[in-house]
Each structure stands twice: as C-alpha cells, then as structure tokens.
Structure 1
C-alpha cells in the first residue's frame, strides 16, 4: 500500500502491516546510475581476490542472521520458514561458498591454442566487466532470484542496480541492508524500490546489461526496449513443466515428488510440476498415492506446517480462473475445494489435484503459478514425449523410471532447459549446471561458468613477439598465390604432407623477407 512515497508492507499470510519503506522516485534513477558509474572504475580494477573479501563478509553476516532472514522472507512472502531457509537462503550461501573455487578459475585470463598456420603467436581470452548491470527480480523467491545474479555480476567487476519486486519490497530492503553491513563500497550495489514504472525507467536509462526474471509478457517488453539500444539481456521467464511417470517408476517416490514439486511455495515456482503424465497402467495407483500424500499435508505458517500462503493476491485470480475453466469442461477435483467455496480474502489456497483433464483446458496450456496438479494418463512413450513438448514453454521437466537408460533417452527428446531423472526441480540448486529455458521460457543461461561469463565481455587477444619485419600474408602478393595453394593443399589433406608444407612455408618466409 502506497502513501506519499511511503510503501506500507503487509504480510500476505496474516494481513498484518509490519514495515514501512521509502519508495525510490523516478527522479532518483539518474542519481543511482551516476553513483554506479562513478564506482565502476575502482571496483572493476580490483582483483577477484580483493572483491571476494566483501563476499566473505556477506556470507558471514548471512550465517549469523540466518534465522532472522528466514523469518523476514517468510513474513514478506507468506511461505513457511523452512522453504525460506532451504530454497531462498541456502542456495545463496552455497553460491557464495562456491565462488571461492570457481570465480578466479572462470574469470582469469584463459590461454587458448593457436593454429599452426599462425605459428609464433600466442592467444588468450580476457573477461572484461560490462559496467552497470540492472537486475530486475521476482516475488516468488525474492531473495535467491535476486542475490545470485547480483553476486554473479559483482564478482566479475560490474556494478549492480537491483530492482526487487514491489510485491515483496521488504526482502529488497533486507538485501540492501546486508550489502551495507558487508561494507560493499558506495555505488557498487544500489537498490531501487518501486513498481513497474520505476522498472521501465531504469530499463530506459541504458544499463550495460539487463538480467530479468519474471513473466513472459514483461520479459518481451524489456527485450524490445533492450533491442532498440542493443543492450544484451538474460530473460528468465515462465514454465509449464511436465513430469513423466513411466510404468516401471518407483510410484511412491514419484507421488511424493509430484506433491512437493507441485505445492512447494504454494506452486509459485517457475519450475513447479504443472503437468503430470502417468502411464495408464499405473495411473489409478499413482493417483491414489498422490491423494494419500495430500491428505497428510498441513497448511499454515508454523514450523510444523508444510504449505504457506500465496504471495500475490492477483495470482489467486489466475488459479481460480483455471480451476473454474477445467471444472466447467468436465475435470474432476480429486483434492481441495471448489473456488466458489473459497473464503474471500483468504491467501491460503487449497491444494488441488485434477483428473479427467485434457488439452483444451487452460490448466494444461497456461502457466498456473499456484497449487494445482493436473494428472493425465498416456499410452506410449512416443505419445508422452509429444505431450510434454506440446507447450510454448520449455524450462524444466522430469522423467521417472527405474530404467535409467530409457529415462535418459526420453529426457534427450524433451525440449527443455533442464530435465531431472527421478527427482524434481533440483537442477536449480546445482550452481555448476547452466540454468535457463527454451521457447517462451526465456533467453540465455546463468549458473555454471556461463553464469559468470555472461556479465563480461569476452575479449580475444593475440600476441606476436614483433621481431619479424613482415608476415607471409601481408603485401605484396606477387608470387605468393601458388605457394599458398601448395601450403594449404598439403596441410588440409587427410594426412598432412609435411615435406611439401614446410617447403612452401619456407619459400613464403623467404619471399616476405626479400620484399
């Protein structure tokens, strides 16, 4: 809730107003960019080891304040504290720890080989920071999905302007305070707190790189603005992730995974299990096991509860619309409560498992981002691969089978940024793997080595000792064509004719010296 530039922060789970924050004005954006660009020359010329000192401070403070951080994230998002700890805080701490081993190895000067035809020269790649990176992050995992791109950009020598989601502004303030406590230099990390208009203004100001996580619609708008100015971008967008359960799968494990994958964070995960395809021969048993699991789940905000509240009221409307659409077309609600019986203003949405679902329903086509699990039977492996790929999204998927070779074969045919075999979602927790989507799920990758390199210019450098007066390919060309022809024919044959090669090369050197 806004009041004269002040944002009153309300817990989605309890409705309690628990904090007040100043919003960043549109007029302040120029000043924020000015601070960032002023800080860049010093920060970018530090060694990686010098930058990592600040990262060590940040990790130490996060460990000391871990329980308090979990409480604050839970309060602002409505998720239970365990999910705040495991899915928001732990991945950031793990990433900070991994940078001690990976940052220098990935970003220091890399020697590369030089072709024989360029003998006498040396080649290497340098990684040069881009400048000011704009990170626009979402509300579902407001800590993790902001901190990891921020830290990835910073370690390479960039300065960062972060625009956290206005839906979870308190987490944005929490992050800002952490960087201050870790004593990062002024202007190296700046936070801008506000809504869509602020995000649009920050984008229009021309950062040197944009990293956006959010909806497909907003991602396309940012991509269009960036394209006009040739600003490189990474767009991490939506998903409609399929889970494929083959006939020989460990059904009890698969059912537990489906429930967790569909309902963790109330289903507000871009990598949620949003479509479950089960071999018809085990479909009824799988459905029974899923219903047993759901019946044992608890919703609430205590440490003994499993599923917290939704975070964003508008998302409940999307969930309601998809459920009503499915039920009106004949779907069966196996667990949960019909939307007409939901309590007005209640943010704890029931966990809903649907059967009798088919392609024409929104719940199988549109991203849900809520606690719905549609389960669909299939008859053949070829059919389920086609069903899994029949989506405009391609972020993540899972395949379940005791036959690992078969599961890998299926995984290889799914158009997706990631696939997990006999588990769900977890690729995002492995910082050594690239993360990103295919099709409408986004553009670009982060995590892994690529996640650090995307924030840098890759500069190719070649070095010659400079003692020769000329090169064989330089002017004049007189008398060289036949020698080059002989040189290339002898070199590019299946078996190199070294005698002819060296003879032609020596003649070219001699001819170049004479000229």
Structure 2
C-alpha cells in the first residue's frame, strides 16, 4: 500500500513510500538470519569499514538529511543538524574507535584457589536485533542503536515511527550507499500492527525508544519468551537552581532545555525548582528570555512546530488542569485559544504550581515549563525524586561540591551540574533511565556489549584426574576449614593456606592412586570370604 506523508505543520505532501504488510514479517526475519551467518563471522574491523563508509555518506548527504528531518518533524534545520546529524556522526566515530577494545575477548583474573586455571570473557553477537524508534529524534534514535548492534555482529530490522517514516527511507538509502551487504539492515515501514507482528516474531533482542505505555506492552510480550530488551522511555526531568548559581546561564539553559524541539525531548527540562531568595528574579528573566524566541520554519528561527498532533491534547490537558487549580500562565497562550490544526505552540511558563499537579508529575512533552520555589537542599532533593520517572536531572550552583552531593542523592540515570541534556551526546557515557525512565542502557562500551552474548570462560589444562573439591570428601573438611581461616579470616596466613591446600592436593592424589588399582572381581571376593 502506498503511504502519503505530509508535513506536520503545513499539511503539505512531502513524499510517499510503500508500507510493509505484517504478512512479510517472516520474510524479513528469514533474510536477516541468512545475512547473519556471514556478517557475524566478519572480523570487527571489517564491520567497522562499513560503518565508516556510513559516516562519510552521512556527512556527504548532510543537507538532504537535515531537510528530510525538518520536513518530517517540524524542527528547525539547525536543530536537526546539531542534535541529529552531528550526534550520529560522533556516535559512529566513537564506535569505530572503541569497538575493537569493547568487543575483544578480555582476560580476567582467576582466584588463587583455582591454581593452574585461566579465565576470560568473550562477546558474541545475539542474532537478529529489532530496533523500534520514535518520532521526536527519528534519525539519531534509530541510527545509533542500529550502528551499535551492527558493530557487535548482529543483523537488524528497524521499524521507524509511522509519524516520521521518510527518515526511515532515508536511513535505508544511506546504508545502501555505504555498501552494506543485503539483509544486514532492513527497514520495515508501518504502524502498530506491524510493530506488534515484529515483536511477536521473536527477535533475539529488542531495543525500543518511546512511551512508557508501549514499552510496558513490549516488555510483557518479550517476557513470554525471555527476549532481552533495552527500553528507553519517558522523563520528567527536574532542574534544581540554587541561590548561588549563575542565574544568567541557568535561565539561558532552562529556555533551551525546555523549549528546544518544542519540548519534545525525553530529556527536556519539564520542571524547575528555584531556591526562594532568587525565585522572583529567575522567573522574571525566564519569561523575558522565552518571549525573545523566534518561531517558524527558517534556519535562523529558534523554535519549530510540534510533530504529532495528538500530543497537543496531552499538553492542553496538563496546562488547563494546572490553571484550573490555581496556577498562572506567565507566557504563551491558553489552550482554549489555540487555533484548530495550528502546530506552532508558543513557549508556556507556568508558575504557582504544586507538586501534585499533572504538569509536575506526568510527562508533558511540549513547550511547557512549570516553576516552583524551594527553601532547603533537602527539600529540593525530595521534590526532584518525587516522580515515577528517572531519566535525567540537572543541578545549578557555584559550589561544585554541593552539586556533586545533590547529584549523588538523585534517583536518575543521567545528571549534569551547571548544564543539561548533554550526557546523551557524550558517547563515552552509558545512556539509560531508572524507574519508568527505562531499562538497560546503550552508548559507551556497554552499548555495543549489550547487543552481545557475554560468555564467561575458564580453562584448565586437563592434566590432573580430579580437583581438590571433587569427590571423595573423606578427610577434606578440616583442611578446607583451615584454608578458609587462613585466606579469608581476620589476617592472611599464607603458610597456613599453603599447608591446607597441599593436604587437600595430597588427599586427591591418594584418591587417584586408589582409583587406578584394578577392582577385585565379585566372585573372587566371595571365595575369599
């Protein structure tokens, strides 16, 4: 079926594609498994040659990529370039540099009680990885997990969001340009029905980025077959501003962190807590900065449009409930005044909020920023942790010691001091959430290793017939007890340890000699008796 795609803000037709029928899912998996046989056997460095070619193709086609992303999502071209194209190029470069180390077999220590043995950890590809990506960052949040999975030797089936499908077509073309073998990456285009069929077809691993609700459904289905998953879900990220912070910097950061991509960022600043002595000044500056933002479709604008029309209903619900309960809309427009079909929402700063409001508890995912005061450090920590989410947080203070102290008590997968969001852009850091922020992590070495089966191996020469801890146990209790006291007791007693081990070794060798004697036939025993 031909699928016509329209610009989210203007309704203009921007392209079309062929939808993948759910009936073709088995064919996709069959082709992926066939490709896996050869791809998984390639040395890591040969796989990285393909990823390098992909990175170069991305840089060469940068303008086209930005155009497709902007048309598909409504985000500003500069934002598409910086947060999507640059992020993916940096992530692939990181994989090129780190994969040989991250994925190589690693020798590890072996306890002295296993004298004569060696140990190592081996990383092996899982098989076919299913990547389900979202609409808010359709290029970055598709390409990076795909690249990590491919570096590990897996083949991948990618289902991009049906909200921004042309980015999936673009990714498919980039991989073809880079010369990847047939079947190594396949892109399946469709909606929820296709996604359900892909999950139920039992991939070897699932990487999902999206809503908490959908993530729980995927996790429940995966659990039926114990399919491992990484789930990158929602956020309600707090920003804590202490009175000694650089207020000008904090205000500029808050405006960008809350309103970039029209607030449709899982790590957006969704609630701000400001220490009371500077609260009024901070809010005044915040409103002034928000009013200065330019909104439109041009590269020099600051804010684009919303991407998903349905999301406007959630934004309107949170704002209206807060206003009905006594909150104040400092900037922006009341939802009752929004024009039908208008996707350009002005930044909304909301004050006089309370912690129990949906606007402070539920993910809004729009250009909305509630602000409330706090008095003490302890109160700020308690308010920040009072959430079912735990994706990211930021702390603003001139006292770095206090910043680190507060961060260490925040229940969050990511945190920044005097900056925000940037942990996801550092490929050396693992990225993942806690609580309903998600399960597992990717990026860094762990990102590539997550897509691999880790096999722990111990090796023995096989020279001796039995180990000291094998049967028979006769006479071994006391030497083992002395060994435990000598090695794990209050102080290390090496002579005692060695004496105990030699006793155990002697008992095992005696058992070997006795076992090597020929057994007397049963009828001879009877004659002797």
TM-score, reference length from structure 1: 0.98
- Is 1:113 matched up with 2:109? yes
**Which of 210, 213, 216 is residue 214 of structure 1 equivalent to?**
210
- Is 1:476 matched up with 2:469? no
Q: Which is further off, 239-248 or 460-469?
A: 460-469
- Is 1:451 matched up with 2:447? yes
Deviations 1:98-141 (A, max 9, x none): 11221111110001000000010000000011111111010000
**Which of 317, 323, 327 is residue 327 of structure 1 equivalent to?**
323
DSSP-derived class of the 2:22 partner: coil
How far off its partner does 1:45 sit? Answer: 1.1
CA distance in 1, matches of 2:387, 2:224: 29
Q: How many residues are treated as equivalent by the alignment? A: 511
- Is 1:20 matched up with 2:55? no
CA distance in 1, matches of 2:370, 2:478: 70
Which residue of structure 1 lines up, in the alignment, with residue 498 of structure 2?
502
**Which of 58, 61, 72 is residue 57 of structure 2 equivalent to?**
61
CA distance in 1, matches of 2:59, 2:191: 30
- Is 1:268 matched up with 2:264? yes
CA distance in 2, matches of 1:398, 1:475: 58
Q: Which is further off, 480-489 or 371-380?
A: 480-489
**Which of 192, 199, 204 is residue 203 of structure 1 equivalent to?**
199
**Which of 29, 32, 43 is residue 28 of structure 2 equivalent to?**
32
How far off its partner does 1:329 sit? Answer: 1.6
Which residue of structure 1 lines up, in the alignment, with residue 515 of structure 2?
none
How far off its partner does 1:53 sit? Answer: 0.8
- Is 1:150 matched up with 2:142? no
How far off its partner does 1:513 sit? Answer: 2.1
**Which of 198, 221, 234 is residue 230 of structure 2 equivalent to?**
234
CA distance in 2, matches of 1:18, 1:71: 11
How far off its partner does 1:494 sit? Answer: 2.8
**Which of 363, 388, 391 is residue 387 of structure 2 equivalent to?**
391
How far off its partner does 1:508 sit? Answer: 2.2
- Is 1:305 matched up with 2:326? no
TM-score, reference length from structure 2: 0.95
Structure 2: gaps of 5 or more residues: 512-529
- Is 1:412 matched up with 2:408? yes
CA distance in 1, matches of 2:337, 2:66: 32
Which residue of structure 2 lines up, in the alignment, with residue 183 of structure 1?
179
CA distance in 2, matches of 1:404, 1:246: 11
CA distance in 1, matches of 2:204, 2:313: 37
Runs of 4+ displaced beyond 3 Å: none
Deviations 1:166-197 (A, max 9, x none): 00000011011111111111111111100011
Which residue of structure 1 lines up, in the alignment, with residue 252 of structure 2?
256
Q: Quick check: 1:13–1:301 contact (8 Å CA) kept in 2? A: no
Larger Rg: 2
CA distance in 1, matches of 2:199, 2:33: 15
Which residue of structure 2 lines up, in the alignment, with residue 369 of structure 1?
365
Which residue of structure 2 lines up, in the alignment, with residue 133 of structure 1?
129
How far off its partner does 1:493 sit? Answer: 2.0
